[in-house]
Chains A and B, each alone.
Chain A
Amino acid sequence: MSVEEMKVMGVIGPKNILNGVLRRIILQGSVHMIDAFSRVYSTDFFLPPTERNIEVLEEEPNLKPYSERRDFSEEERIVNLFHTLFDIEPYLSEDYVNEDYDYDRFMKQFFGIYQELQQTEQEIEGKLGEIARKKEYIDNLKYLSSFNLEINRFIDMEYLVFRVIRITRENYDKLKKNYKNIPAIILKVAAEGKNVILVSIAPETLEETLERIYSSLNYTILPLPQEMEGTVDVVSEKLRSSIEEDQKIIESLKISIEKYKEQYINELKKMHSRLEMEKKIEEVKSKIALGDKSFFMFGFVPASRVNKLKGELEKYFDDRLIILIDEIKKPYSGTTTPPTKLNNIKLFQPFESLVKMYGIPSYQEKDPTVFFALTYLLIFGAMFGDVGQGAVLLLAGIILEYFYKKVDFGGILNRLGLSSIIFGFLYGSVFGSEDILPALVIRPMSNINNMLITAVVLGVMLILFSYMIGIINAVKEKNIKEGLLGENGLAGFLFYLLLLYTVFRVFVLHQPLVPLITITLILLLVIILLKEPFGSRLFHSGGDIDKSFKKLSANDYIEEGFGLIEMLLSMLSNTISFLRVGAFALNHVGLYIAFLTLAKMMKSAWGNWTILVVGNIVILTLEALIVFIQALRLEYYELFTKYYRGDGIEYVPLKINFSKIINPKTGV
């Protein structure tokens, strides 16, 4: 019930409408693509040789894979430029791709605009560069502000070279120590962090020597404005006003860009979505087979959505497409294994993520989510029953789910919180305290033995239930051998049941062993040990009996023998494992008592409350986490191993996740 039924859908049509068809399919978002070749060449593929199909059938033997790979980097660059220039948030909207359009024609109209814009953008960048340079000049001129002279007279000197340089303090030390050998007049004008700023004047004839010496000091020349007359203040002022002019030019360029924006904004907004759609289409094409004129594509579609998809395709493409809908043939294998789409009611949906963590159920396997969710809630609640802390978890879960959109984790958390609240009432526990509420059923700490025994009984019931699901699954898969004779099949189930009865009879009722039961137990063990030969004799037709007998060597029996010992051990450990359900219920109270004792040792009421609050926080975070994990391990290790394989393929439909939130900035 909870794994959705799938059908194989095939779409065959002329190549020129391939992109359009794929776009519709992606918009529908219900097709799990499969490799077209593996479908066409599978034995059960059949195209009725009607008049309409005959042309396509001729192409079938000459199909080729789609080999081109279209390069979208140019378009991506354009789209990115537009986005940054016009301040558009990349936003995926279904509306933009739902219209009927031709992608290439749509994109072409932007190429021209792109070039014009690129030019404007370059102009702006050039101007920005100039501004940066002028700002640097201004900064550098500041070092000279103590000289009240016209700087152009320094810079334009004919026989002397004037420059401002920067070197590190260490190198300045070296320079200073050896100053008598340096052919220049050097003046330190500033010190900044690791560096010092120097002014140097040297005769032009010695310029080369000096340049080499400065190089050995790893210097940086600080550039000064050329061809500007006046003192430092005057030149700086000139530079500042020229920067302002540049900025005005930039502004006007930006306005011209704005105009483009107004004109094209509506089209521009569509670009991102359409580009993404096109990329997705290219991505899918690797799974498509192409003939001379036609394309072949196949995918799994959930039965409930087949008609909608078919209707949609027919609406847009009339009779140009051949749409095939087939049931899935057993046995499933390779690429034709149908994917699994879990379909549970909202209450259990978040738990799908925990099941998937272990594995996806295969298509014909029973979805364990419901059983998992119920037992998980039960175990968690029993271990962590507390009205107050449960409410905190519930609240945290709701906040996570609805405000932070962590649907899975938040959903699990609030359901667990609810379960915890229910058990809290049963135990009469609020934030650890047992004085506020009466216990509806039991107080764990005063009934330790009852708690532990109940836990084991609960465990036994869950294990038995798991056996039953396992057997049903095996029968559904027509795996009669495992179902009847396997250690997790009927034989194992009966063995466990009888073993439990025997233990109960001997240790609780103190009655002697029943010989018949003992013999049956041994017999069941032998059956499980010899399930391979028995299985093949019972369930296979004549021919392969000898073969399968021959295949089993002594090694296999040794292996089966150890398997048997392992089975016995795990039956014991699986059962005892459930003690922890009771133990954690006790632990919860125990931790609280510890903090309560501490709180009572406090002199002030204030200290008392602080300890209790801190204690509760510790219990809530630490214990809730441990219980969360322990309950999960009980599920995975004790129960799933009995009935769940989880080796399916997840249903991943071809689709684009369109943004749902409206962006206030761009008004989309």
Chain B
Amino acid sequence: MDRVIVYSAINTKIRILERGFLSRQDYSNMLQMTSVSQVASYLKENTSYRDILASIQTDKVSRRDIEDTLTTNMIINMDKLIYYFRGDYKVLIRSLYLKYEIEDLKILARSIFNGKKAEEIESSLSFLGKYSKIEPERLFQAETIRDLIYSLKGSQFFEFLIPLVDGRRENLFRFEMALDTGYFNIIQSRKLNILSLDEYLIKKWEGLLADLYNIQWIYRGKKFYQLSPEELLNYTINFGDRLHYKERQRLCYSKSPADLHQMTSGLVYGFLFKKEEISTDIYMERRINRFLFYKLKILNKKFPLTIIQTITYIWRLEMEIRDIISIVESIRYNIPAEEIKKYLVRAA
């Protein structure tokens, strides 16, 4: 199979879809808004979200409505792309659903844990069932984490979750950890029959992600959860682009966050920490996302006829939604525009 054959159609499609991304001007316009409904009507009147927001009444809109519509749009666009792929490429793109479904499952588990009802959840959870093929209704009926685990029976997640059921370990933390481990396990164990350049890029990209998440995890585990180095190490993702086992072990056994910072600056990932902000790590995630955003831009230029194009599109779409929701959230809590920018992946 030739790359040109595989990617000419899909790239054209992506170029068309990319036209729908918000411009910098859109960002700064939205930052000037003072209410959620203003943002909604701006999106409805001035952007490519026109059509999908058409049926929404902007004066009564909630954060959840906006997120619902935007993620539904994302699913529609992802489905459009899947349509262009054949064979194992379909499997590959579907495993992107996996990531989002796991995110949604975690949110659902958290609200079950906090005793919320399914309809009270603020996020949209539109991805539930997209990968696992489990009816979302079944998941929403769960009243405890245990119920939730059993309602996932028949999906690929079940085998990772079932050990939690016996004994004292059905808590939220373990649930989330088991899902995350499950995610990387699933994507590592799939055998894909795809072009070798694509395989290389996927491996590189997923390794990069694993590195970043591992560092973030070790940092948080040390700082907030006070986990022992052994536990930390066991929970790390078992592969990486630059962080191999030895380095991971070294990081896990570091004595303090400052010590950890010291170690990472020797690697390429020192940028994740900023000295003056080391106590407020809410920006770490944003730094990761910004790094990924620009990394993808570079990869995109470098490898035009590859799977990276599709991955970039989907990630950018996700980040855009994330940004829009951040803006909506911040406006709701009256945060000034300059301050909001600090949370956005694509600052205006």
Contacts and interface: CB of A to CB of B under 8 A. Distances in A.
Interface residues of A, number: 19
A220 B166 contact: yes
B253 to A, nearest CB: 8
B177 interface: yes
Contacts of A105: none
A174 B249 CA distance: 10
A213 to B, nearest CB: 5
A514 B233 CA distance: 103
Given A170-B185, A219-B163, A178 B169 contact: no
A181 interface: yes
A217 B231 CA distance: 8
Contact of B233 (A178, A218, A220, A221): A178
Given A170-B238, A182-B230, A218 B181 contact: yes
A173 B185 CA distance: 14
Contact of A181 (B164, B174, B230, B238): B230
A212 B231 contact: yes
B113 interface: no
Given A215-B174, A218-B178, A218-B181, A178 B166 contact: no
A178 to B, nearest CB: 6
B230 A178 contact: yes
Contact of B228 (A171, A212, A217): A212
A212 B178 CA distance: 14
A241 interface: no
The 8 closest A-B pairs by CB, nearest first: A216-B234, A216-B231, A220-B163, A213-B230, A218-B163, A216-B235, A181-B230, A217-B234
Contacts of A182: 230
A175 B231 CA distance: 10
Interface of B: 160, 162-164, 166-167, 169, 174, 177-178, 181, 185, 227-231, 233-235, 238, 245, 249
Interface of A: 170-171, 173-175, 177-178, 181-182, 209, 212-213, 215-221
Contact residues of A: prevailing secondary structure: helix
A170 B236 CA distance: 12
Contacts of B162: 220
A209 B226 CA distance: 12
12 contacts: A173-B238, A174-B233, A174-B238, A175-B234, A177-B245, A178-B230, A182-B230, A213-B228, A215-B174, A216-B235, A218-B178, A221-B166
Nearest to B221: A216
Contact of A216 (B177, B245, B249): B177
Contacts of B233: 174, 178
B163 A174 contact: no
A3 B169 CA distance: 71
Contacts of B229: 181
B147 to A, nearest CB: 19
Contact residues of B: prevailing secondary structure: helix
B127 to A, nearest CB: 24
Contact of A221 (B167, B174, B181): B167
A216 B230 contact: yes
A215 B171 CA distance: 11
A310 to B, nearest CB: 50
Contacts of A221: 166-167
Contacts of B169: 215
Nearest to B231: A216
A212 B235 CA distance: 11
Contacts of A175: 234
A171 B234 contact: yes
Given A177-B245, A181-B229, 13 more contacts: A170-B185, A171-B234, A174-B238, A178-B233, A212-B227, A212-B228, A212-B231, A213-B231, A213-B234, A215-B231, A216-B230, A216-B234, A221-B166
A171 B236 CA distance: 11
Nearest to B159: A194
A209 B167 contact: no
A209 B228 contact: yes
B157 to A, nearest CB: 12
A212 B231 CA distance: 7
Contacts of A213: 228, 230-231, 234
Nearest to A213: B230
Nearest to B232: A216
Nearest to A183: B230
A173 B239 CA distance: 13
Nearest to B165: A220
B163 A178 contact: no
B84 to A, nearest CB: 34
Nearest to A209: B228
A387 B134 CA distance: 54
Nearest to B188: A170
A272 B266 CA distance: 77
A151 B169 CA distance: 27
Contacts of B231: 212-213, 215-216
Contacts of B166: 220-221
A161 to B, nearest CB: 14
Nearest to B161: A218
A175 B185 CA distance: 17
Nearest to A219: B163
Nearest to B252: A178
A195 to B, nearest CB: 10
Contacts of A219: 163
A173 B249 CA distance: 14
A589 to B, nearest CB: 43
Nearest to A212: B231
Contacts of B181: 218
A213 B230 CA distance: 6
Contacts of B234: 171, 174-175, 178, 213, 216-217
Contacts of A181: 229-230
Contacts of A216: 177, 227, 230-231, 234-235
A174 B231 CA distance: 10
A173 B233 CA distance: 12
